[in-house]
Structure 1
């Protein structure tokens, strides 16, 4: 079992930068190649749905964004817990750089959901449990991104943001199970059902390919932002040290 000291060893900024420098190109190019295959397959080559017609193509963007919005927030909550409990050196920075990306994918989830809802439901928006809980998730992402940047003391901002992230995690089960707990317009899960997926393989496979590509792109973007934040912090520390030496000299 990893103890706090081991976690700190794995989170050493120098080791992180060396590892990230090796992983980043592979992650980025994997995302590019996956999306280069997945998006034409989904948006151009896959057949229209027998009920939804061509509108089903919106779901190739909407569903992966929904998964990333929830999975990313779970990662934010885990990183926040690590930052609060173990004072993980990189956890605060990673969470700080994760929240704007999470807010962006949640916004895309809401926007594409509205585009799909208009022809399917006859309205851009309804205040049902699934849509409302995802909107709350979007505000939680925005709240974290704003809160960690709202204080002159970066450590205090990170701590407040971590507390908000952990409190907001109670919304994740609501998002996931809202269609089962309440009567909503939003359809229940089609891909993750235990008995069998509710989608034909001609739609399921390109959907999963898009999910893989967008997940790789999400990870690559968060990693790149975290690398840049670590390097920026190191540069500022060097500048501060140089200024102190100059004052002493």
Structure 2
């Protein structure tokens, strides 16, 4: 997964390196269309999908990879998956669980600070995918650079969240989880407030409303999502990343 895009040779160069080391490696592209330098976008996409892959999968990641002299190339074992990339904070956003192993990759003479994905990172990913123990490809370290996810505010009568992702269709994904919503709801009535809209029920699907109508539902990852049936909610509602979303509950 990367923010390389598809215009240039970068994706092909990394794959060529992987196949030159081990032609039998199976490579699956998650996406190379992460917004340039957008760590939050990359973290959301990877967090949404990595658990769908078999345990033991190696994820080679390049989003806003810095090229300064203090950069650390790392391999991380988290929830029985492996992640390889530059330590820029993205890996800390993937899970509430702590990694079970972190190593700083050994940089040999082939290391290219401008394009480490093609050299050290690709080689490390192939080694892990081929069964090499993570501690044999680098030096154990105790922690990663950390970043904080957007936090949800919760009171007896309210949940306050934010839009954390706008997908290809203009649907607005929030950081309010289905589990938290029903825990706070506790058989009470509710209203969801965003932009100039108020909604008082959870839809079952995107097509459960007439075309052009606004709706909220819980997506396949279990997070509250705002959509417009057959429309682009982000454009039509004037909402985007970090826009606040409030849920108010009755006092009972």
Which category of TM-score, normalised to the shorter sequence, fits these structures?
under 0.3
More helix by share: 1
Name the structure where strand makes up a greater proportion of residues: 2
Structure with larger RCO (C-alpha < 8 A, sep 6+): 1
TM-score (norm 2): 0.22
TM-score normalized with structure 1 length: 0.22
